[in-house]
Chains A and B, each alone.
Chain A
């Protein structure tokens, strides 16, 4: 939970942060299907997902990116604005997988009166990379 404002002057390029999520559950995939409106059965219907050649249900890629968003907004802290966030999915995440996100500051810059940090974020399940992404956030101070 962010409670301290992150100050631009105190951020350095190369600063790191991380977030480890609880293991994904099939229940969570049903919750995410409802919340996102993505009812593709590959995310909760095991026979359907196997028939589709996926070896079982897989998490929504956008759920994984939602976790990355949490890592970014938690680091950026109160009052920050997300200007850009992007990501791609390298390997499916499955129920039982705990995803660890590692981020670092790649650039600091000021634009349009905003104090911005460019971030790179990766997601791993154990040693396997599942996500690669980035973000630009404008800090509150």
Chain B
């Protein structure tokens, strides 16, 4: 199964993420980051934030209930994370309700050390209840060629 390039430009179904303080705390704990702004409301407010904030890579946990059609049938063993970037208009705060959509931007071919690969470019854009853009998560996924091919 290779990536279906006819779907470039597609946008996934919107999905809603309720940003929970427990989810933020678990994410920070997995990283091993003890910064109190990720779990202590009083400390976060004392530092000038409107509430408990999320670590800057937190939107990686915003997964749609159903995978977009363009990644649904890909072989998990061939998938590796490539370049990732997050742009923020403001920090994500516990209690935010964000509406997210995944945009299928492009596919590029690349010849790597371990053989041929496809680079899948996607963006997840998250907006708050007022429709204001909060974050953009741009991600490149490396899809290695199947063994014995390419």
Contact = CB atoms under 8 A, between A and B. Distances in A.
A113 interface: no
A84 B86 contact: yes
A62 B77 contact: no
Interface in B33-81: 33-37, 47-49, 55-57, 60-61, 63, 76-81
B83 A35 contact: no
Q: Which of B26, B80, B91 has the most CB of A within 10 A?
A: B80
B31 A40 contact: no
Q: Which of B31, B63, B82 has the most CB of A within 10 A?
A: B31
Interface residues of A, number: 44
Nearest to B140: A88
Contact of B29 (A35, A83, A135): A35
Contacts of A34: 26, 30
B76 A32 contact: no
Contacts of A36: 27, 30, 60-61
Interface string A3-41: 000000000000000000110000010011011111011
Contacts of B36: 1
A70 B28 CA distance: 9
Interface residues of B, number: 38
B85 interface: yes
B68 to A, nearest CB: 15
A69 B34 CA distance: 12
B76 to A, nearest CB: 5
B60 A38 contact: yes
A55 to B, nearest CB: 12
Given A72-B56, A73-B56, A140-B48, A32 B85 contact: no
Interface of A: 1-2, 21-22, 28, 31-32, 34-38, 40-42, 48, 51-53, 60-63, 65-67, 69-70, 72-74, 78-79, 81-89, 135, 140
9 contacts: A35-B61, A42-B77, A61-B84, A67-B31, A69-B55, A79-B47, A84-B86, A86-B84, A89-B80
